[in-house]
């Protein structure tokens, strides 16, 4: 059964490092659900979070193949322990008439924030795990959703689980 | 004192002790070539096509164990090199390829002879670099050599824009380098080794399966010690031939698609398998589901963790340098008071000898037409089994692997992973440059040889008296064999009409050509050719057009489902 895994990667902050990772996934036929990357507090290093699906064997290979990349410093499969997962979503919704009030309420229920207000639209900012963001979109009437953008998940281990050099 | 990028590049090669750089000049590398011109420590070998430059550097690396170096220009220079780079990558050969690039301000503007070399080569290098700042040049080249030669070796490409070769910087070549993101494990985990010892001693039908890792890690002696200590049968993959003496009784020959009956049967039916620097690839074990039908415990030693449990699930993985792990394993086996089940081992050997008695490599020795196997057997005799043999890809490659008995590592040089036709002749050039006094034979076919035949000109320029053994059956033999077996004898585009007269062609390039048409002439011709010490001799053997390579495990089938010559 292909399980969903969140893989964290610390890699040298060098030109081309991202394409080595994405190239690896496409060349070997691994699935990428989402991939996010940004520099860390140590500017020489980036941290990447990859959400992927695969059997145990495939995930083992993914971790090994990532480790094999010269610029990759550390790899962790967050699913090996308890972890946190967050994703940011911005949703632009049609906010007119009775919907204007309803959308404000809905946003509050999901602990979203309305960060832009225009005559006919709201833009809602929402953070949470992927399932929560999905639930928010499902709760909305499809006809009011004008645009969505999601960052993809980033994750971190709980408690003493630390990924650092 | 400050040096230019071009000076730094050449100085780095000198510091690395590079003997030969195989290459071809062009616009983007002109300044580097200017510096090559001004010195004589690094000898440049001018090839006729960049693919051959990389294959020659590769042949040099395979024969010597040192890092091979190739130098090409931007654009087409780099794209022509790609086949060579991918060939080296698949077989884990240490190489550094230096490619020119358009000047940094022109990058991304579709400049003349611009390609994204780093992008194109990314999937077929161990690592690559684009040097944008002269300050990084020396340390990048140091990193390239370090990465290429350590861990699981492989090709590393350094792309240098033309303006960087003119910029200046102080030259300081680091003696050592450490990379926080790259630290290959060489010492095997003691607990794992302990488990392996226990498993080996409990075996009833043990088998040792060895691959190219034995050659790359220079672990032949350690392997021989272990195998002899245990008295167990062993085999080699195509890439591992010579890692264990093939003439030794404990060696069952090559295994795999065209492996011997005994090696394949032992691989399928063993109960404890020790895999050493090999990767269970499709040409070795055939169908993994069929392979897994038999229950066996597997110990796998490899320096690359990603090679372990990739195609076949392994019970005792040992990540480390093959040589070091084998040594530790042997030490612990010697220290152990146990000897293993000698009775079971004897029964196992009886079974193996029964398989061996099939004599699966037998062929019609009374044929009036030259049998390709016969040519290789005679080549083995005439060279006393001590030649460096390179090959191209196809039937001739398999026959060379089956009938030339390699007793030493680094003598058998072929493109195993990528299967690159055109590899043999340029690889032989690299070998001959490294060992001018050794006998170097390139076993090829009339199709393969034409893929890099222009290198006969390079051989003339550098006086490389290689013996080219062409098994000429007028077909792309391996394609024809598959078409005969699996495509209803429809020989689609596998026949080459209008072949050149190879004797005249050889002569046109300034070499000696010979055509051999009768079995009775084979041995005499080979002797004569090897007597011509200072001549390249192109030997065109007209061989049996219908001969096939046996045994054969058809694609998708299991190891014990071989077709033998006697079955047809």
A58 and chain B in contact, CB less than 8 A: no
The per-residue pLDDT for range A82-140, each reduced to its tens digit, is 999 999 999 999 999 888 999 999 999 999 999 999 999 999 999 999 999 999 999 99
Query: What ipTM does the predicted assembly reach?
Result: 0.93
Contacts of A51 (CB under 8 A, 6+ apart): A4, A5, A6, A7, A32, A33, A34, A35, A130, A152, A153
Architecture of domain B190-356: 3-Layer(aba) Sandwich (3.40)
Catalytic annotation, pick one of B19, B39, B43, B113: B113
Q: What is the pLDDT of residues A75-94, one digit of tens each?
A: 999 999 999 999 999 999 99
Tell me the backbone φ, ψ of residue B101, rounded to 5 degrees.
Answer: -140, 160
B518 belongs to the catalytic site: no
**Is any Cβ of chain A less than 8 angstroms from the Cβ of B313?**
yes
Q: Is A90 exposed, middle or buried (0-12, 13-18, 19+ CB in 10 A)?
A: middle
**Distance of alpha carbon B557 from alpha carbon B268, whole angstroms:** 12
- Note whether A165 contacts B: Cβ–Cβ < 8 A: yes
3-state class of B245 per DSSP?
coil
Q: How many distinct helices (H) and strands (E) make up chain A?
A: 4, 9
Q: Which single residue is written with the structure tokens 């080996």?
A: B200
**What are the domain boundaries of chain B?**
2-170, 190-356, 372-549
Query: Would you write out chain B's pLDDT as a tens digit for each of its 568 residues?
Result: 899 999 999 999 999 999 999 999 999 999 999 999 999 999 999 999 999 999 999 999 999 999 999 999 999 999 999 999 999 999 999 999 999 999 999 999 999 999 999 999 999 999 999 999 999 999 999 999 999 999 999 999 999 999 999 999 999 999 999 999 999 999 999 999 999 999 999 999 999 999 999 999 999 999 999 999 999 999 999 999 999 999 999 999 999 999 999 999 999 999 999 999 999 999 999 999 999 999 999 999 999 999 999 999 999 999 999 999 999 999 999 999 888 999 999 999 999 999 999 999 999 999 999 999 999 999 999 999 999 999 999 999 999 999 999 999 999 999 999 999 999 999 999 999 999 999 999 999 999 999 999 999 999 999 999 999 999 999 999 999 999 999 999 999 999 889 999 999 999 999 999 999 999 999 999 999 999 999 999 999 999 999 999 999 998 999 999 999 988 7
Cβ-nearest to A61 among B123, B180, B306: B306
Collapsed DSSP state (helix, strand, coil) of residue B328: helix
Q: Which residues of B touch A60 (CB under 8 A)?
A: 309
How far apart are the CA of B203 and the nearest CA of chain A, in angstroms?
A: 27
Chain A CB contacts of B313 below 8 Å: 57
The model's pTM: 0.96
Contact A73 B180 (CB under 8 A): yes
B162 is known as an active-site residue: yes
Q: What is the rounded distance in angstroms from the CA atom of residue B214 to the CA atom of residue B302?
A: 10
**Catalytic site includes residue B222:** no
Say if B126 is an interface residue toward chain A (CB within 8 Å): yes
Residue range B2-170 in CATH 3.40.50.300: no
DSSP B75-138: THHHHHHHHHHHHHHHTT--EEEEEEE--GGGTTTT-TT---HHHHHGGGSSEEEE--SGGGHH
Domain B372-549 superfamily per CATH: Thiamin diphosphate (ThDP)-binding fold, Pyr/PP domains (3.40.50.970)
Judge whether B350 is closer than 8 Å to chain A, CB to CB: no
CATH topology agreement for domains B2-170 and B372-549: yes
């Amino acid at each position: 059964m292909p399980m969903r895994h969140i893989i964290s990667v610390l890699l040298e902050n060098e030109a081309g490092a991202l394409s080595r990772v994405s190239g690896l996934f496409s060349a070997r036929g691994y699935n990428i659900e989402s991939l996010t990357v940004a520099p860390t507090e140590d500017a020489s290093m980036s941290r990447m979070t990859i959400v992927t699906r695969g059997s145990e064997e495939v995930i083992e290979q993914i971790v090994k193949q990532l480790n094999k990349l010269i610029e990759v410093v550390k790899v962790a499969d967050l699913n090996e322990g308890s972890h946190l997962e967050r994703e940011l979503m911005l949703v632009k919704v049609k906010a007119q008439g009775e919907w204007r009030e309803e959308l404000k309420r809905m946003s509050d229920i999901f602990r979203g924030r309305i960060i832009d207000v225009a005559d006919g639209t709201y833009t809602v900012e929402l953070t949470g795990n992927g399932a929560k963001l999905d639930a928010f979109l499902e709760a909305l009437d499809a006809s009011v959703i004008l645009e969505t953008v999601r960052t993809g998940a980033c994750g971190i281990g709980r408690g003493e689980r630390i990924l650092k050099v | 004192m400050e040096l230019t990028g071009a000076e730094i590049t050449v100085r780095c090669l000198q510091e690395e002790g590079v003997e030969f750089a195989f290459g071809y000049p062009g616009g983007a590398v002109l300044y580097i070539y200017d510096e090559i011109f001004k010195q004589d420590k690094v000898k440049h070998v001018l090839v006729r096509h960049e693919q051959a430059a990389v294959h020659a550097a590769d042949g040099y690396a395979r024969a010597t164990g040192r890092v091979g170096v190739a130098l090409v220009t931007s654009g087409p220079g780099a794209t022509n090199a790609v086949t060579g780079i991918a060939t080296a990558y698949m077989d884990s050969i240490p190489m550094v390829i230096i490619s020119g690039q358009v000047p940094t301000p022109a990058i991304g503007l579709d400049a003349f002879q611009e390609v994204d070399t780093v992008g194109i080569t990314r999937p077929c290098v161990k690592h690559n670099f684009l040097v944008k700042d002269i300050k990084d040049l020396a340390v990048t080249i140091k990193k390239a050599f370090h990465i290429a030669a350590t861990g699981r070796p492989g090709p590393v490409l350094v792309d240098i824009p033309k303006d960087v070769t003119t910029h200046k910087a102080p030259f300081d070549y680091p003696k050592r380098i450490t990379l926080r993101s790259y630290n290959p494990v060489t010492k095997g985990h003691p607990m794992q080794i302990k488990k392996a010892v226990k498993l080996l001693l409990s075996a009833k039908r043990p088998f040792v399966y060895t691959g190219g890792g034995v050659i790359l890690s220079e672990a032949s002696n350690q392997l021989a010690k272990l195998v002899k200590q245990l008295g167990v049968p062993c085999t080699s993959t195509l890439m591992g031939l010579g890692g264990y003496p093939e003439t030794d009784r404990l060696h069952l020959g090559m295994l795999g698609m065209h492996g011997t009956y005994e090696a394949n049967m032992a691989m399928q039916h063993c109960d404890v398998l020790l895999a050493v620097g090999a990767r269970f690839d499709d040409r070795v074990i055939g169908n993994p589901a069929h392979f897994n039908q038999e229950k066996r415990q597997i110990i796998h030693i490899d320096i690359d963790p990603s090679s372990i449990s990739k195609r076949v699930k392994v019970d005792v993985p040992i990540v480390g340098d093959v040589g070091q792990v084998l040594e530790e394993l042997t030490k612990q086996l010697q220290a152990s008071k146990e000897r293993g089940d000698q009775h079971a081992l004897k029964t196992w050997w009886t079974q193996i000898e029964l398989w061996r008695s099939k004599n699966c490599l037998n062929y019609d020795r009374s044929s009036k037409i030259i049998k390709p196997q016969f040519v290789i057997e005679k080549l083995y005799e005439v060279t006393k089994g001590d030649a460096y043999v390179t090959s191209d890809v196809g039937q001739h490659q398999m026959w060379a692997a089956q009938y030339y008995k390699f007793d030493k590592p680094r003598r058998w040089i072929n493109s195993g992973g990528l299967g690159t036709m055109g590899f043999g002749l340029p690889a032989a050039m690299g070998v001959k440059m490294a060992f001018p006094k050794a006998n170097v034979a390139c076993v090829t076919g009339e199709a393969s040889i034409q893929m890099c035949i222009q290198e006969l000109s390079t051989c003339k320029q550098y006086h490389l008296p290689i013996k080219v053994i062409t098994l000429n059956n007028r077909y792309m033999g391996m394609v024809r064999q598959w078409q005969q077996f699996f495509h209803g004898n429809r020989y689609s585009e596998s026949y080459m009409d209008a072949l050149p007269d190879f004797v005249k062609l050889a002569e046109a390039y300034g070499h000696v050509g010979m055509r051999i048409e009768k079995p009775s002439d084979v041995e005499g011709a080979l002797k004569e050719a090897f007597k011509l010490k200072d001549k390249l001799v192109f030997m065109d053997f007209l061989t049996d057009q219908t001969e096939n390579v046996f045994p054969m495990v058809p694609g998708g089938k299991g190891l014990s489902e071989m077709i033998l010559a006697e079955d047809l």
